[in-house]
């Protein structure tokens, strides 16, 4: 009798249901995300993303379309001269802002300048003592270039140009916010999540975008290393159960994507470095996929917990009955194989999430 009880106990205690259904639930969740254009690089990121409640966004190319165009040029009377100088400095740059400036200048670009990329500041072009500086306000200040008092009057991203140590003018680069950004930020706020925007643009531009999209907080005029320090600070200050998610697209975002709890990259306009560093990639650059990814991850985790509770609950009951001699081998097989089949069928549900 006790040998029979031991055999029943042994069959019931086999962990097949857990060993098969839990990984299968994660596979289903990752497969469902892939079907919706969301690449998740591991089940641990899927689980972590389901608990994300702090969302930090890069601005350009993430919350905005990243399709730049030259707007105002100040002073307007010197438009051609300013665009010519800026095009010389930005000719070989692949940055979207640089390309928009080069496209706006229809004339010939002079050759022979030695171009030096100044990280987080701009570009220096030099030829036989002729020096052109093209970049942000910080570059002008560090180079000792005096700016006019109305230097922040232009809307959009301001690109400043100096020629041989003298301020020449500034170019306004406009970038339109994504209509989808407003929708996803609204849904994140409704769920109680904190939303933050980090940008290298001036405070006036950042404030306008944050107000337009309804972002909780923002930090402006940040260099790439400043973004890293800002995220490090927030990671230090966050609560024990909080999960910080950073969403970006540029090569400068790669360190922050690796540093955050969950890094999300835009796969279409995103740089290779950002895609490599991210834990989750949105293949078609649609910010609404963030909300979709959260739904998929939470459904997947819910199914995992259902399978764990169901399998352990049935097994514990059957183990108790087996130990008391009230369970036969048929019940033991059901508690093993039957529960496993039911858990697997439940895990398959993770594969199906309704489209937005």
Please pick, among 1, 58, 130, 175, the residue that the annotation labels catalytic. 58
Report the alpha-carbon distance of residue 101 to residue 88 in Å, rounded.
10
Cα-based distances in Å from 73 to 79, 92, 125, 174, 192 = 6, 22, 20, 12, 42
Mark whether 175 is an active-site residue.
no
The first and second tokens of residue 121, run together, are 């500041």
CA 196 to centroid of chain Cα atoms: 12
CA 310 to centroid of chain Cα atoms: 35
Report the alpha-carbon distance of residue 354 to residue 140 in Å, rounded.
52
* Residues 6+ positions from 260 with CB-CB distance below 8 Å: 56, 231, 235, 244, 245, 246
Q: How far apart are the first and last CA of the chain?
A: 58
Catalytic residue set: 58
């Amino acid at each position: 009798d006790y040998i029979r009880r031991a055999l029943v106990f042994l069959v019931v205690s086999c962990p097949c249901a857990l060993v098969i259904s839990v990984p299968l639930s994660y596979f289903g969740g990752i497969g469902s995300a892939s079907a919706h254009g969301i690449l998740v690089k591991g089940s641990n990121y899927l689980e972590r993303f389901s608990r994300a409640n702090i969302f930090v966004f890069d601005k350009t190319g993430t919350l905005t379309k990243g399709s730049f165009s030259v707007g105002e040029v100040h002073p307007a009377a010197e438009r051609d001269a300013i665009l010519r100088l800026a095009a010389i400095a930005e000719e070989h740059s692949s940055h979207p802002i640089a390309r928009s400036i080069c496209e706006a200048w229809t004339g010939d670009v002079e050759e022979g300048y030695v171009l030096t990329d100044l990280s987080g500041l701009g570009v220096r072009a030099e030829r036989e003592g002729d020096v052109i500086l093209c970049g942000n306000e910080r570059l002008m200040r560090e180079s000792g270039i005096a700016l006019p008092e109305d230097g922040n009057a232009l809307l959009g991203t301001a690109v400043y140009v100096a020629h041989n140590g003298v301020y020449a003018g500034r170019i306004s680069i406009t970038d339109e916010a994504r209509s989808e950004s407003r929708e996803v930020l609204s849904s994140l706020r409704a769920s109680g999540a904190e939303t933050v925007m980090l940008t290298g643009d001036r405070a006036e531009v950042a404030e306008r975008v944050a107000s337009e999209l309804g972002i909780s907080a923002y930090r402006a005029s940040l260099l790439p290393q400043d973004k890293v320090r800002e995220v490090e600070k927030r990671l230090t200050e966050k609560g024990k159960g909080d999960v910080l998610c950073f969403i970006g697209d540029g090569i400068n975002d790669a360190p922050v994507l690796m540093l955050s709890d969950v890094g999300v990259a835009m796969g279409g306009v995103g740089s290779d470095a950002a895609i490599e560093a991210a834990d989750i990639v949105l293949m078609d650059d649609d910010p609404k996929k963030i909300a979709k990814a959260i739904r998929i991850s939470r459904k997947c985790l819910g199914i995992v917990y259902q399978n764990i509770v169901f399998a352990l609950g049935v097994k514990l009951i059957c183990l108790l009955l087996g130990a008391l001699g009230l369970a036969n081998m048929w019940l033991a097989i059901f508690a093993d194989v039957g529960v496993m089949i039911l858990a697997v069928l439940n895990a398959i549900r993770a594969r199906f999430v309704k489209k937005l």
